[in-house]
Amino acid sequence: MTSGDHKRELNSARPADERALLLRWMAETLRSEYGEKDLLARREPLHELISTILSQRTTHADEEAAYKELRDLGDWDDIIAAPTEQVAHAIRRSNYPESKAPRIQETLRRLRDSPSGYDLEFLRELPLKDALKWLTDLPGVGIKTASLVLLFNFSRPVFPVDTHVFRINTRVGTIPKMGEQAAHRALLALLPPSPPFLYDLHVNLLVHGRRVCHWTRPLCGECVLRERCDAYALYGDHVPSFGAK
């Protein structure tokens, strides 16, 4: 197919209720393709929080390596007390270690000095809005990191929008053109407040982004979403690199 072969109204211009149905179809289609993903906390909350800070602009392998070397410095108190250059060196496999090191130390310091210490369990019961605010007030913690911790560790109904989730939703047109931050709110407003559903969709979008809907030269010919994808309707088999158009 070539660009312009599909003459249909773009999803991104459709009303919210239609885009909400499109998201449900997307979740079901990806589930059939990749299987259902069960919501199980993969690591303890503080580990998830620090790892997610390390994962920003970093591959999974480098994030894991940085986390391991960070923990080799000792317990959380030891990491706070270590010279910041030493912490930066330990996490050098993560991108921007010089800015992440003081943020991680400050985050740990604030936790240590808070009434619950390093235990984040109180986030399970805190009203969702307050839990998001509490987390995003920490240095280096944005809406994506906060959402990951709340969904993955505490089964709270939020939807983390990482680079794969953002790219696929923008291309398919479940949301109009907007930034990654704004997409958190926009997508959440269209999705059912069901943590297992949100988790399953999040993880399957990650899988789809890694395997098929690549940043550049997406494999549209193999894509189970292509019949309803705006980018495919516009460009056929020549979808441009994400952000290029």
The residue ranges that bind ligand SF4 (CB under 6 A) are 168, 171-172, 212-213, 218-220, 223, 225-226, 229, 231-232, 239
Largest alpha-carbon pair distance within the chain?
62
- CA torsion 37→41→42→45, rounded to 10°? 150
In terms of CB distance, is 195 or 218 closer to ligand SF4?
218
Least Å distance, CB 188 to ligand SF4, is 20
Least Å distance, CB 201 to ligand SF4, is 14
Least Å distance, CB 176 to ligand SF4, is 16
In which residue are the tokens 């550049």 written?
216
In terms of CB distance, is 144 or 167 closer to ligand SF4?
167
In terms of CB distance, is 106 or 237 closer to ligand SF4?
237
Least Å distance, CB 164 to ligand SF4, is 10
Q: By the 8 A CB rule, do 165 and 205 touch?
A: yes
In terms of CB distance, is 66 or 239 closer to ligand SF4?
239
In terms of CB distance, is 192 or 236 closer to ligand SF4?
236
2 conformational bin, left if phi > 0, alpha if psi -120 to 50, beta if neither: beta
- Residue 1: DSSP 8-state: -
Nearest to 229 by CA among 14, 18, 17, 22: 22
Nearest to 231 by CA among 1, 54, 41: 1
In terms of CB distance, is 32 or 116 closer to ligand SF4?
32
**What is d(CA 120, CA 168) in angstroms, rounded to the nearest whole number?**
32
Give the chain's radius of gyration (CA, Å).
20
Least Å distance, CB 41 to ligand SF4, is 29
Neighbours of 35 (CB within 10 A): 12
In terms of CB distance, is 26 or 90 closer to ligand SF4?
26
Least Å distance, CB 29 to ligand SF4, is 10
Least Å distance, CB 148 to ligand SF4, is 22
**What is d(CA 92, CA 104) in angstroms, rounded to the nearest whole number?**
13
**What is d(CA 35, CA 161) in angstroms, rounded to the nearest whole number?**
20
